């Protein structure tokens, strides 16, 4: 994937199916050196685009842009560029944005993009495989140092090599649970948590407590069950459609 600079036109060679009923568009935003004073204010820019925002450690955030794409009638790349411009204009903070059809791919897109650029991964299996195959196994969320060393001992150093191994073989090498997850990650898929588990693990906040940064007070009014994970400082979320594990990201329409 070619990183996109905010100052250059965006040309996407591969058609994307982000607007299909089941597809999601997730963005991972890495903020570069925000001050303690502006950290919480930065989230007002993020929530201007979508109410589904999860703060992450090390000055990052996850956004579900699925509904925002329909609301603003923009492509994922254009919406990411708009976000970068808003952050830079209002707070002087530069950012790197990765966009993909799930959380893992969006995070990897941001981590492998050049600083202050946008990298968009299409919702296309061939394009996802081309992106993942050259990456080292340790880039996958479930591959820690010990697992990576074990797999390297069998000649499996890249995600592309890992993807060619049957899941049953991976389970014999690294264990049943880890092998199943690695097989899924190597193919660019993630298994969404159940709605019940998400409700147990989710919490309300707009930013992560970090150093002198305090966690905002959760909303006082009753809300529908949140759906992000349990780590301290989850995102505020909106309602999700029936049968969906993600909450709707559609911003509220103007009066």
Ordered by where they begin, the domains of the chain are: 1-124+194-240 (3.30.70.270), 133-186 (1.10.150.20)
The predicted pLDDT at position 57 comes to 85
Kindly report, residue by residue over 199-245, the tens digit of the pLDDT: 334 433 333 334 444 444 444 444 444 444 444 444 434 334 444 44
The predicted pLDDT at position 235 comes to 41
Residue 141's pLDDT band (cuts 50, 70, 90): confident
3-state SS of 200-245? HHCCCCCCCCECCECCCCCCCCCCCCCCCCCCCCCCECCCCCCCCC
Mean pLDDT for the stretch of residues 171-183: 93
Could you tell me the CA-to-CA distances from 223 to 178, 236, 239 in Å, in that order?
35, 10, 9
pTM over 0.85: no
Mean pLDDT for the stretch of residues 177-206: 65
Kindly report, residue by residue over 45-82, the tens digit of the pLDDT: 999 999 999 999 878 999 999 999 999 999 999 999 99
Kindly report, residue by residue over 88-117, the tens digit of the pLDDT: 999 999 999 999 999 999 999 999 999 999
């Amino acid at each position: 994937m070619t990183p996109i600079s905010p100052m250059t036109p965006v040309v996407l060679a591969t058609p994307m199916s982000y607007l299909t009923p089941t597809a999601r568009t997730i963005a991972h935003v890495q903020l570069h050196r925000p001050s303690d004073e502006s950290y919480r204010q930065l989230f007002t820019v993020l929530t201007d685009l979508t109410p589904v925002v999860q703060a992450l450690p090390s000055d990052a955030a996850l956004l579900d842009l699925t509904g925002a794409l329909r609301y603003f009638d923009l492509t994922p790349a254009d919406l990411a560029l708009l976000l970068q411009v808003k952050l830079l204009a209002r707070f002087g903070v530069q950012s790197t944005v990765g966009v993909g059809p799930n959380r893992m791919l969006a995070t990897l897109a941001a981590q492998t993009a050049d600083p202050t650029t946008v990298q968009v991964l299409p919702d296309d299996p061939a394009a996802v495989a081309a992106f993942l195959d050259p990456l080292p196994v340790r880039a996958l969320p479930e591959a820690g140092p010990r697992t990576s060393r074990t797999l390297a001992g069998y000649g499996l150093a890249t995600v592309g090599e890992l993807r060619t191994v049957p899941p049953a073989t991976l389970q014999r090498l690294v264990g049943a649970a880890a092998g199943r997850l690695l097989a899924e990650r190597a193919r660019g898929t993630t298994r969404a948590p159940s709605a019940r588990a998400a409700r147990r693990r989710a919490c309300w906040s707009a930013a992560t407590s970090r150093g002198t940064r305090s966690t905002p007070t959760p909303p006082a009014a009753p809300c529908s069950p949140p759906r992000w994970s349990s780590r301290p400082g989850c995102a505020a979320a909106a309602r999700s459609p029936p049968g969906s594990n993600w909450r709707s990201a559609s911003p509220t329409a103007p009066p």
